[in-house]
């Protein structure tokens, strides 16, 4: 069980979600003591005034092949780039379809390994020099807490954090969820905290309906939320709304953007929630207006 003391029921948890973590010298929690290069890179990804970001994830092909909506990334992803704060992709996609003139910070998928045809998460890492060559603003890797590749992926995290610290590149730890693991607050709270304690500067995880506020409060670095499987647009906007209202620093969304009926309208509606403070219904209205434009 991930959390033995909680299951014993003897010790109350005290996350104090309403009390913001004190941050000195920077706008992102847990990252106040980093060197200049790290802070510069993070400031390209997160808006310094709000601490929030809308990241566009289209790295799915590295384990899933030509995912729906990503069959022709040159046609479907390129029009979205202007509306994203940061692009999360593989080095293949970056070199193949992302215009170097786009000026967007890159969260580079820097772990690679087994696909959906076998066991996921048996991964290795890209060379940090390759990440620097591609001007990555952040490097992202999978960490599979509770899976048989837990130790391997934590070693990967340690290796990448060491390399990132050496060169000033922040690390995004992505909580992989295996088939047998439940995406509840207990699991996500454990996984996000383990990633942060092992040096991840930002953590990507899933939203959960109950207890997400505690997950966010218990993670000492910013959390960005993945969208997960495609939902109806209003539901996806509601997920983004709840996530940021309950402490996420933004989203790192893929399928719910590029599989939306109108992806360019959808990413702008998501930004309306994350940056514009729109309620889900207002953001959905914006989506409907933009899809007709
Ligand atoms: C795949 C990833 C994806 O980037 C992540 O799952 C985000 O995409 P989505 O919003 O479609 O869940 O980390 O390994």
Q: How confident is the model at residue 177 (pLDDT cuts 50, 70, 90)?
A: confident
pLDDT digits (tens, 9 = 90+) for 15-44: 999 998 888 789 999 999 999 999 999 999
Task: Report, as an integer, the average pLDDT of 138-155.
Answer: 96
Q: What average pLDDT score do residues 219-241 get?
A: 98
pLDDT tens digit sequence for 71-113: 999 999 999 999 999 999 999 999 999 999 999 999 999 999 9
Q: Which of 62, 252, 257, 274 to mutate to test the pocket of ligand 1 (most atoms within 8 A of CB)?
A: 252
Which H, E and C letters describe the chain, residue by residue? Answer: CCCHHHHHCCCCCCCCCCCCCCCCCCCCCCCCCCCHHHHHHHHHHCCCCCCCEEEEECCCHHHHCCCCCCCCHHHHCHHHHCCCCEEEECHHHHHHHCCHHHCCCEEEECEEECCCCCCCCCEEECCHHHHHHCCCCEEEEEECCCCCCHHHHHHHHHHHHHHHHHHCCCEEEEECCCCCCCCCHHHHHHHHHHHHHCCCCEEEEECCCCCHHHHHHCCCCCEEEECCCCCCHHHHHHHHHHHHHCCCCEEEECHHHHCCCCHHHHHHHHHHHHCCCCCHHHHHHHHHHHHHC
Q: Going by C-beta distance under 8 Å and a sequence separation of 6 or more, which residues neighbour residue 175?
A: 143, 145, 188, 191, 192, 195, 203, 204, 205, 206
Catalytic-residue membership of 104: no
Quick count: other Cβ atoms within 10 Å of Cβ 145? Answer: 23
Look at residue 2 in the predicted model and tell me its pLDDT. 53
Residue 248 in this model has a pLDDT that exceeds 60: yes
Relative to the CA of 228, which ligand 1 atom is closest?
12
Tell me the per-residue pLDDT of 165-174, one tens digit each, with 9 for 90 and over: 999 999 999 9
- 34-224 carries CATH number 3.40.190.10: no
Between the CA of 292 and the centroid of ligand 1 the distance, in Å, is: 28
Q: Per the confidence metrics, is the pTM higher than 0.85?
A: yes
Q: Pick the residue with more confidence: 130 or 176?
A: 130
Q: Provide the pLDDT for residue 1.
A: 46
Q: Percentage of residues in the chain with pLDDT exceeding 90?
A: 87
Q: State mean pLDDT over 227-251.
A: 98
Q: Which atom of ligand 1 is nearest to the CA of 57?
A: 4
């Amino acid at each position: 069980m991930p959390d033995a003391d909680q299951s014993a029921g003897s010790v109350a948890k005290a996350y104090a979600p309403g009390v913001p973590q004190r941050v000195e010298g920077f706008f992102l929690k847990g990252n106040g003591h980093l060197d200049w290069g790290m802070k510069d890179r993070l400031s390209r990804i997160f808006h310094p005034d709000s601490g929030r970001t809308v990241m566009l994830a289209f790295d799915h092909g590295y384990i899933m092949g030509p995912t729906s909506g990503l069959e022709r990334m040159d046609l479907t992803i390129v029009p979205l780039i202007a509306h994203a704060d940061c692009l999360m992709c593989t080095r293949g996609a970056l070199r193949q379809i992302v215009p170097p003139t786009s000026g967007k910070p890159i969260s580079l998928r820097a772990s690679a390994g087994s696909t959906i045809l076998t066991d996921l998460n048996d991964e290795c890492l890209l060379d940090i020099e390759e990440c620097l060559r591609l001007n990555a603003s952040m490097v992202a890797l999978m960490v599979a807490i509770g899976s048989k590749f837990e130790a391997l992926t934590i070693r990967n995290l340690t290796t990448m954090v060491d390399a990132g610290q050496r060169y000033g590149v922040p690390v995004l730890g992505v909580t992989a969820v295996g088939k047998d693991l439940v995406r509840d607050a207990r699991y996500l709270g454990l996984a996000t905290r383990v990633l942060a304690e092992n040096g991840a500067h930002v953590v990507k995880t899933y939203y959960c309906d109950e207890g997400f506020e505690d997950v966010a409060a218990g993670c000492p670095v910013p959390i960005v939320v993945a969208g997960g499987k495609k939902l109806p647009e209003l539901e996806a906007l509601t997920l983004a709304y709840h996530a940021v209202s309950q402490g996420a620093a933004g989203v790192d969304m893929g399928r719910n953007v590029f599989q939306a009926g109108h992806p360019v309208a959808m990413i702008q509606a998501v930004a309306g929630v994350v940056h514009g403070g729109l309620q889900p219904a207002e953001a959905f209205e914006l989506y409907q207006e933009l899809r007709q434009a």
